[in-house]
């Protein structure tokens, strides 16, 4: 993820592969019970609702619409799967091939 902005309730996520639009973004990075946010996340506007993997409970807690999940570890994968099973459109951003494979598998 290179950049994350929000305009009129829609997130624009710029990645090396292009841009994505979503209503929700879940940041699922870190090691077990330690939250780690990507560089620059603290500089995002307060209008961008960020949910760490420790705070995520269910798809019902997020605004309606598509969701971007950042992180490919166990938490990121479980959150992406939970959101997909709840009928959400899920974009799963990862720098690891496993995360990309997981994301493709969930949408087939």
> Cα separation of 31 and 33, whole Å?
6
Q: The tokens 């090691």 sit on which residue?
A: 31
In a domain, 14, yes or no: no
Please count the structural domains in the chain.
Answer: 1
Q: Which domain holds residue 78?
A: 23-106
In a domain, 63, yes or no: yes
This prediction's pTM: 0.57
Q: What is the pLDDT of residues 30-58, one digit of tens each?
A: 555 666 677 777 887 777 777 878 888 99
Give yes or no for a contact between 91 and 50, defined as CB atoms under 8 angstroms apart.
no
In a domain, 102, yes or no: yes
Confidence of residue 60 (pLDDT cuts 50, 70, 90): very high
In a domain, 82, yes or no: yes
Q: The tokens 């560089």 sit on which residue?
A: 39
In a domain, 18, yes or no: no
């Amino acid at each position: 993820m290179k950049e994350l902005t929000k305009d009129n309730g829609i997130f624009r996520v710029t990645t090396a592969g292009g841009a994505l639009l979503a209503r929700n973004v879940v940041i699922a990075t870190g090691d077990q019970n330690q939250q780690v946010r990507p560089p620059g996340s603290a500089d995002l506007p307060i209008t961008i609702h960020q949910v760490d993997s420790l705070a995520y409970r269910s798809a019902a807690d997020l605004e309606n619409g598509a969701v971007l999940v950042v992180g490919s570890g166990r938490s990121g994968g479980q959150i992406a799967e939970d959101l997909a099973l709840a009928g959400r459109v899920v974009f799963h951003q990862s720098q690891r091939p496993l995360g990309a494979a997981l994301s493709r598998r969930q949408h087939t």
